[in-house]
Amino acid sequence: MALANNKKVRFDYEILETITAGIELLGLEVKSLRTHTIGLDSAYVTIRGGEAYVVQMGIPPYQPSNTPDDYDPMRIRKLILTKQEIRKLADIESSKGLTIVPLRVYNKGRKMKVDIAVVRGKKKYDKRETIKKRETDRDIQRTLKGE
């Protein structure tokens, strides 16, 4: 079950590849995620020192009055990946024009997972084509529904 989706990624970027990763969270963050409160809009993945981290992913506290004073909702969170996946992502990150962003956060049993994607930014005309295609698909569905 998806706890959060980053819908804007599919519009703004061309998805080249997806990878599933685990994520290290605090207990209060897991509780907050289960209430579907998370901000993935400006989040991205970076590789530092042979480890992958997700940056700018906002998880507000579950109970603000019971949250520790030093809790930072925008803190950097570590992703759990294999060494081969991290090496591959590091090569991708160093190449020009490609970005790594989280697509969705979900739970698989008791574990929290993140789908991350290697993306390339779309140009303005590509976005217009996406809008045009979406509108024609809607028109077709309406006409089929009316018959």
Which domains does the chain show, CATH number per domain? 2-122 (2.40.280.10)
Q: Which residues contact residue 9 at a Cβ distance below 8 angstroms, ignoring those fewer than 6 apart?
A: 15, 101, 103, 117, 119
Q: Render pLDDT for 84-131 as a digit per residue (tens, 0 to 9).
A: 999 988 888 887 888 899 998 998 888 889 999 998 887 777 778 888
Inter-residue contact 12 to 105 (CB < 8 Å):
no
Q: How far apart are CA 12 and CA 26, in angstroms?
A: 31
Is pTM beyond 0.95 here?
Answer: no
